[in-house]
Amino acid sequence: MKHHKIFLPPEDIYPIDDWRIVQKSFSEKYLAQDETLFAVGNGYLGMRGTLEEGVPCAQRGTFINGFYESWPIHYGEKAYGYAEEGQTMVNLPDTKIVKIYVDDEPLALHVADLVQYERALNMKDGILARSLVWKTPTGKEVQIKSKLLVSMEYRHLALITYEVVVLNASANIIISSKLIHDDDRVVHADDVHDPRKAGQFEYSVLSVEHDIVQDDRIVFGYKTQNSGMTLSCGMDHLIETKNQYKRKIERAPHEGKCVYTVFAQEGQPFRLDKIISYHSSRRADPKDLCNRAERTIDQAITMGTDRVIQSQKDYMAKFWNLSDMEISDSDYRTQQVLRFNLFHICQATARAEGTGVGARGLTGSAYEGHYFWDSEIYVLPFLTYTEPRIARNVLKFRHSKLDQARERARHLNQKGALYPWRTINGNEASAFFAAGTAQYHINADIMYAVRKYVEVTGDEDFLFDCGVEMLIETARLWYDLGCFPKYGDGEFRIHGVTGPDEYTAVVNNNLFTNMMARENLRFAIDTVRRMQKERPDAFVTIQRETQLDMNELDDWQRAADHMNIPYDEVLQIHPQDENFLKREIWDLEKTPIEKFPLLLHYHPLVLYRHQVIKQADVVMAMFLLGNYFTPEQKKRNFDYYEPLTAGDSSLSACIQGVLASELGYYDLARQYFHHTVLMDFGNVAGNVADGAHIASMGGCWIFVVYGLAGLRDYNGQISFNPHLSNGMTFLKFSLCIRDAILRIEITPHETKYLVTEGDFLTITHKGETLDLKQGEMVVRRDQ
């Protein structure tokens, strides 16, 4: 990312606060990125941080994880096996809008005279709050305080509290609480130049199928045009005031609103609590979903809004107990943005049940809400070590899509199963096969995540109930995909694939792919044989259901044992693929800064002809499978590939930083740490307006734990080799390892280990084996 600048928002507007993202004055200049930074969600439901008034607005957005519209992919020249159906996460009806008029004067922040203003995302409590004093043209000062939360505890529930007080006069106030569905008929994705952005539809996706309009309540039921998915969204209101007021409810084709006319007396508050519910389904009747939304709303009313707010605080307290990272750094904003990254991972995953984790979570529409390898390689490590229940849910989602992966493999004339490169519903949605479908490593990435999850948690029930079936089918794919060439040297080779680096596509023997495939094959062999021995009854069932011939294991073993691992004896490095070193080197230093990212300024074929890397590829292999490289090989590989890496992916900096730290390039590692931790808050990629980079946020945790603390967990063996970056004086975090909770404290001169839960844990500290017992702190001082 050295070719990408950090754009920190000004500190006088966005002050440093360890537990909050704070905006002290409104600036329209930062509106689009604010809508991402202040987004709230729970992994099922997400809402961009748009203003309550609805205007000004850059990108309105309310999303449900896994709720999509499908559409046919059109090709100028189509070929056999191309993906046929696109999927796009639907921008849902907006229930956040609360407009206010004082003596018929509307509040619009970009033109309002604001005497006081603060907006703050409280990450400790999971609540977005705003407080302002507006001076109207007639001199009346109106104080407005609001809170917004998407409930972590109650998956389908959101809540807004909105309180208005006229401080120095009486006034006539109108408050209009809306549920609005915009009919945005814009261009489709084919016409969008930036492939990372999502297009819009040329038709109205949602049709109203049912509605309930009664008292202070409005509920709409919808159905999508093509995917047939159904949705309900509803709102109800509770009023608390001593002021006189009138209520009017209105219903239009794409809008419902409750309008309150308040005769406000000086100093007398008017409080509106807006209870919101969303439900979705692949097949349920919209009327039934409306009934579910009503039940959710009724439950919240019965509980009371104070209990809903307290449940949010309780959930977040449990989250931070295991997931928090305390850090002391000469860059005083580090603590704030580190927690900001962890908080957004929580918002993207907490209630992601029966779904994956989108590349931008539920903070924006970029990448159309699709799930990639990001989930398994960048987000799952954090979840596995801090929220194993959620990690299991994400992996179970992959298992639930195994039949579709089998079908996709058949479409590509292969045996076994091939998981889609990008998807929502389990079907391949990538129309660009060179940088999409050709990334067969997605199979091995998922199996790698399964292995890490099982090793760290000890959840062998998942391995044998779900994992083994995925392992059998992915191993079959690898053996069928590769070959022992007739005139070869006896090595197993995998041709026509793309590794993580999307600037080098459809190559032979990509190092990362081959090494990960080898791990996949070996893990499959080991798991099948263990199951046969340890769970013979279950093995008989899985053997029958998968039609497994035990002779297949011999084939897999032969392929793994003879896997081609590219190595150049002259340079003594591992080529990224067998022809990579034969290409012309791209001079990144002479490339104008305005030409980054390269993918927006150069034809793919131009990139494919050069040694230029979008994101870590060989370096990624050295991180995930570092036990197969010698220290000397790691250094030579890193030194060669570092100058070739454009860092045009938000996924690159964290991995390069971990390896830089391991190799002793501490100044470079610190640069990568800043780019990683500030990816969204500092708008490093230049597109935070389109949503948060959830995988990079996972990469932030990876950098701290694997880079600064030096965690390595090969084959389930936990070891640490800590080294804080210059300027850092303290780091503290926790890991959940099997039945134990391990707390680690690191300073430049010593490391402390304490098991707070669980009886016993064995780890390694800089080569020394430590047997840790609950409650007994072990301290190791550096010489």
Cα separation, 616 vs 648, in Å, equals 10
440 closest CA partner among 376, 514, 490, 377: 514
DSSP symbols for 189-210? GGG-SSTTS----SS--EEEEE
Q: What is the pLDDT of residues 397-414, one digit of tens each?
A: 999 999 999 999 999 999
Closest CA to 711 of 722, 726, 701, 727: 722
Q: What is the pLDDT of residue 427?
A: 97
- In which band, very low, low, confident or very high, does the pLDDT at 321 lie, cut at 50, 70 and 90? very high
Taking only the tens place, the pLDDT of each residue in 149-202 is: 999 999 999 999 999 999 999 999 999 999 999 754 333 344 446 777 776 788
Nearest Cα to 422, choosing from 39, 86, 188, 71?
86
Residues 415, 546, 715, 492: is their CA dihedral positive or negative?
negative
Confidence at residue 184, expressed as pLDDT on a 0 to 100 scale: 41
Residues 6+ apart with CB under 8 A from 69: 87, 88, 90, 201, 205, 224, 225, 226, 227, 229
Q: 225: which DSSP letter?
A: S
Does residue 705 carry a pLDDT above 60?
A: yes
The stretch 21-28 carries a mean pLDDT of 96
527-536: per-residue pLDDT in tens?
Answer: 999 999 999 9
Q: Check pLDDT > 80 for residue 13.
A: yes
Q: Using CB atoms within 10 Å of the CB of residue 363, give its burial: 0 to 12 exposed, 13 to 18 middle, 19+ buried.
A: buried
Between 726 and 65, the more confident residue is: 65
Q: What is the mean pLDDT of the chain?
A: 96
Active site residues: 502
Instruction: Give the model's pLDDT for residue 200.
Output: 72
Q: Is 234 helix (H, G, I), strand (E, B) or coil?
A: strand
Instruction: Give pLDDT, residue 202.
Output: 84
Please tell me which residue, 486 or 423, carries the higher pLDDT value.
Answer: 423
For residue 56, cis peptide bond before it (omega within 30 degrees of 0): yes
- Percent of the chain scoring above 70 in pLDDT: 98
- What average pLDDT does the segment 550-555 reach? 98
C-alpha radius of gyration, the chain, whole number:
27
pLDDT over threshold 50, residue 482: yes
pLDDT in tens, 244-270: 999 999 998 889 999 999 999 999 999
Q: Peptide bond before 106: cis, by omega within 30 degrees of 0?
A: no
The pair of three-digit structure tokens given for residue 396, joined into one six-digit string: 């179970």
Are 512 and 441 spatial neighbours (Cβ–Cβ below 8 Å)? yes
CA distances from 50 to 40, 304, 359, 434 (A): 10, 25, 20, 37
Question: Residue 148: its pLDDT value, please?
Answer: 98
Work out the number of other CB atoms within 10 angstroms of the CB of residue 491.
17
Tell me, what DSSP letter sits at residue 92? Answer: P
Strand 728-737, strand 326-329: pairing: antiparallel
Instruction: DSSP letter for 331, please.
Output: S
How far apart are alpha carbons 214 and 230 in whole angstroms? 22
pLDDT band at 460 (very low <50, low <70, confident <90, very high): very high
Collect all residues with Cβ–Cβ distance below 8 Å to 507 and sequence separation of at least 6. Answer: 496, 497, 498, 499, 576, 577, 578, 579, 580
Q: Are 488 and 508 contacting, i.e. CB atoms less than 8 angstroms apart?
A: no
Residue with tokens 């230029």: 612
* Distance (Å, whole) CA 337 – CA 324: 12
The answer to whether the beta carbons of residues 121 and 128 sit under 8 Å apart is: yes
Residue 691 main-chain phi, psi, to 5 deg? 130, 160
Which band of pLDDT confidence, cut at 50, 70 and 90, is reported for residue 504?
A: very high
Tell me the per-residue pLDDT of 578-605, one tens digit each, with 9 for 90 and over. 999 999 999 999 999 999 999 999 999 9
Give me 698's structure tokens.
């996972």
Query: pLDDT category, 783, cuts 50, 70, 90?
Result: low
For 749, which DSSP code?
S
Three-state SS at 139: coil
Rounded CA separation 366/195 (Å): 9
Please report how the helices 402-411 and 468-481 are oriented relative to each other, as an axis angle in degrees rounded to 10: 10
Q: What is the mean pLDDT of residues 455-461?
A: 98
Tell me what pLDDT residue 197 has. 75
What's the mean pLDDT in 541-549?
Answer: 98
Nearest alpha carbon to residue 434 among 510, 508, 505: 505
**Phi and psi, residue 90, nearest 5°:** -85, 135
- Label residue 781 by pLDDT band (50, 70, 90): very high
pLDDT at 782: 84
Q: Give ∠ CA 757-378-717 in degrees, rounded to 5.
A: 45
| pLDDT value for 193 | 61
Best CA proximity match to 377, nearest among 734, 616, 39: 616
Strand partners, 100: 175
Please state the rounded mean pLDDT for residues 334-362. Answer: 98
Confidence of residue 122 (pLDDT cuts 50, 70, 90): very high
Phi, psi of 11 (to 5 degrees): -70, -25
Q: pLDDT higher for 195 or 123?
A: 123
What lies within 8 Å, CB to CB, of 93 at 6+ separation is 62, 179, 180, 181, 206, 220, 222, 233
